Amino acid sequence: MAMTITEKILAAHSGRKSVSPGDLVEVRVDLAFAHDFTAPLAIQVFEETGAEKVFNRNRIALVADHFVPNKDIASAQQAKRMREFARKHRIRHYYEVGEAGIGHVILPEKGLVVPGMVVIGADSHTCAYGALGAFSTGVGSTDLGAVMATGEIWLKVPPTIRLEYTGKRRRWVTGKDLILYTIGRIGVEGALYSTMEFAGPVVRDLPMYQRFAMTNMAVEAGAKNGIMEPDEKTLAWVKGRSGLKPRVFRGDPDAACAKVIPIDVNAIEPQVAFPSSPANDRPLSAVGKVPLDQVFIGSCTNGWLEDLRDAARILKGKKAARGLRLIVIPGSPWILKEAVKEGILETFLEAGAVIGPPCCGPCLGGHMGVLAEGERALATTNRNFVGRMGHPKSEVYLSNPYVAAASAVMGRIAGPDEL
């Protein structure tokens, strides 16, 4: 039977010859992930099940990335709970301040995810690993606690929505813009319970970091997972990072999709999502004058080294506008180190930026750049819900790193061509 890439991975992990959308399957999990925000509840669940051992200490990754370095006593307690669990169960991939960065950056960077895997994470942006041709999806803490105990999870096989991108990308248009445009077009529940399969020559043309930005935000359209077929770029990216053997699944050409959506990128401009929904996007030329108090460059969507390079290219020799706070947070310690070596950090510092330690930072309003009432921020993050970065009466706009950097200089939302 013809199957999509997602169906093939789920079939292979549930011991079946084939699966169809709607089937409930029990799936073998290759990697389970949680962070300091969701792990404590998952650990509580794990303990309540009465399990004495984790299913496999090599197949669990615990990363302190949300409220670290510990922002207050309660967060410190949470981080401690995760640390003690990791020590007790000798969790191999436990990363904390110093080695830790954003989980969704660290895991691919360290080669823990390769094509063909099933990754279950207690974080909604776990869908990011689909850029590697893996099935990955976010769950809550109870599911994750049960996965840590059993190594299995029940899943409903999702129908596939195939998005085919053709045409030529304009200047300053990145994977982030393509996904913002797509979410704007199909809506925040446009892919509810479904797979978003990103395909077409434009996707194959994208560098890996921009592919990650696309699959990362699949959840913002309600999708269960985002996925791309692995190609030479994927395999080259994985090679040298990982001792794990990639398992390349490709969709059958005649596999049934619930929908096929062709997207012509020729006319797509850099996108800006207005408050308070990632689907509320506008082309840059239709933004108007939006003065800003803060610009944040970082997060699991745009915290890769290449994202920082893109921003630095715009900021080189320039200064952030007076009164605007520019916050840059590299996605991992390795990225931070490389950014130092390449002189990127110097560019940021000369522009008046503050550099945060690798972590999720202000993306979810935890710390390191929380907004006050009435303040407005442009961020390279993935969510701009009400109160996401602070006060319920603050505003968050989303963009790619080029636009974020240019906006920091202009003090209002602006594209690089305006500089």
Task: Pick the binder of another protein from 9, 31, 40, 206 (CB under 8 A).
Answer: 40
Distance of alpha carbon 389 from alpha carbon 296, whole angstroms: 10
Q: Distance between CA 390 and CA 403 in Å, rounded?
A: 22
Beta bridge partners of 27: 153
DSSP string, 207-273: -HHHHHHHHHTGGGGT-SEEE----HHHHHHHTTT-SSPP------TT---SEEEEEE-TTPPPEEE
The answer to the question of residue 84 lying near another protein (CB under 8 A) is no
Q: Which of 49, 168, 236, 262 binds another protein (CB under 8 A)?
A: 49
Within residues 232-251, the interface with another protein by CB under 8 A covers: none
| Interface region with another protein, contact rule CB under 8 A, candidates 42-50, 95-103, 107-115, 281-289 | 42-50
Q: Which of 30, 65, 123, 269 binds another protein (CB under 8 A)?
A: 123
CB of 193 to another protein, least distance (A): 5
Structure tokens at 214: 């696309």
Q: Is residue 97 part of the contact set for another protein (CB under 8 A)?
A: no
With vertex at residue 207, the alpha carbon angle to CA 286 and CA 316, rounded to the nearest 5 degrees, is 65
Site residues (CB under 8 A) for another protein, limited to 318-357: none
Instruction: Report residue 378 as tokens.
Output: 């442009």
The answer to whether residues 61 and 244 touch, using CB atoms and an 8 Å cutoff, is no
Beta-carbon neighbour count of residue 26 at 10 Å? 12
138 contributes a contact to another protein by CB under 8 A: yes
The verdict on 372 binding another protein (CB under 8 A) reads no
Binding mask 199-238 for another protein (x = CB under 8 A): --------------------x--x-x--------------
Q: What gap in Å lies between CA 202 and CA 175, rounded to an integer?
A: 9
Question: Toward another protein, which CB reaches closer, 262 or 392?
Answer: 392
For another protein, the binding residues (CB under 8 A) are: 14-16, 24-26, 37-38, 40-41, 44-45, 48-51, 66-67, 71-72, 74-75, 77-78, 122-124, 126, 138-143, 145-146, 149-150, 152, 154, 188-189, 192-193, 219, 222, 224, 277, 364-366, 383, 385-388, 392
